[in-house]
Structure 1
Amino acid sequence: MRTHTTCCAMAFTLCSVACPTLALADEMSSYAVDVTAKASSDIRTRGISDSLNRPGAKVTLQVAHESGLVALAEFTTVSKKQFLDGDGAGVLLAGGYRFGDPDAWHYGVGLAAEMFPGAQFKAPNRFDFQTFTPGEEHSTHYNSQFAVLEIGYGALEGRVARVLSKNYRGANSGGVCGAQLQFRDDPTKGLECYAKGERNSRGSLLYDLDYKYALGINTNLKVHAGYQQIENFSEADFADYGVGLVHR
């Protein structure tokens, strides 16, 4: 099932406080530190609400070295109902290398890890069709690891992330098939999902395409389109897009 969600950053963002970039240099090297703090009426990732349509906050720290090395740490508040038994926090850590001309063709490669401390769910990964009962429950966390490739030209940037971890945000037989069996009025889809055997979502692909158009010194119009292709679970494929203003 493919779902399309339209979101406008102007509607979601209540407050955005951007700390100015700090440029630190010495005789040997130079690097820039960029810190951004934002409070929003909704925290979303790829069009899906991580805060379950509730207000949240996000703090992003990025360090870029003149050699092209880049490191990023991002901390967000998330819903404990969305990420069960967790601490209500999400952490994204990433590192990589960017090169090329920012005004023309530019590229980037890196690795990233997304974590939700303490968050996990229990669900059966199998269904016994002989006794027509769910199998033994297993715990699954929502943490994911990725390899990332970026390609851009000027203000247009594309990104592809491939899931290296066993699952993407808990997408396995227990998470996907179990949810369909539990929450759908018609259990047919859930049973069909379980009939395909125990599966995980390693190898999933996440696509993003962004374009920023400068409206002023500190204001950009941002257009976004994204798509997630979940390995072994086409019913979890999802498209999102949005238009909004970014003020720094």
Structure 2
Amino acid sequence: MGKRRFAQVATSDDDEDGAPPRPSRNENNHNQRRRKKLHLSDEEEVEEEKLSERSKKKKKKKQQEEEEEEDLEAQPLGEVVRVSGKGRGRTNHYASFEYDGVQYDLEDPVLLVPEQQNQKPYVAIIKDIAQTGEGALMVTGQWFYRPEEAEKKGGGNWQSHDARDLFYSFHRDEVPAESVMHKCVAHFIPQNKEIPNRKQHPGFIVQKVYDTEQRRLFKLTDKDYEENKQHEIDLLVQRLLH
């Protein structure tokens, strides 16, 4: 009995004077779980930092895209030259606008985005540049017709003899300024004049006027138009001859 009691006392003394007691199996498991939890917390922090960086990059990219979209919107240039309408219908008119880094002015011939992808670009002369009260910039164009687009009074269409051929018309239509693709050149040539060389003078050739109501063609020099329309044609012809 005494030996057993001594042994018990001796064990107690070792615990007090020697190394700290070993942790039990349950304590080991608890510590391992705690270390694992701490390790996961570190990983979560790293993941949060990555997510934060991604979020910042996405936000920056979105801002850049918004700025680019703003840059791609057509903007009026210069002073207001005329005002029409009142209240909500008030519209400011300008002599120029800028789109995609290019300046466009009144009387510039331009190509316009067609309604369908398989169509050739539309062609028109800019006759008005207007900004609505809501801020939309609109362009009124006086339209040209390609021979194959112009309907005949008796049915069918005209045949194009040259890819450069266009018919002038007095038809006007309004489109968003962003529809403008780029400038082009239209040579108004009376039929008694020589057509300029394609290489030296690239651009469209206009020798006839298409009446969209009667669906008939007239020569530039027919003098069969209203006085104001004839004056307009004369100015277009004189622009080339001089």
TM-score range normalised by the length of the shorter chain: under 0.3
Structure 2 length as normaliser, TM-score?
A: 0.25
Q: TM-score, normalised by structure 1?
A: 0.24
Higher relative contact order at CA 8 Å, sep ≥6: structure 1 or structure 2? 1
Q: Which has the larger radius of gyration?
A: 2
Normalized per residue, which structure has more strand? 1
Q: Specify which structure has the higher proportion of helix.
A: 2
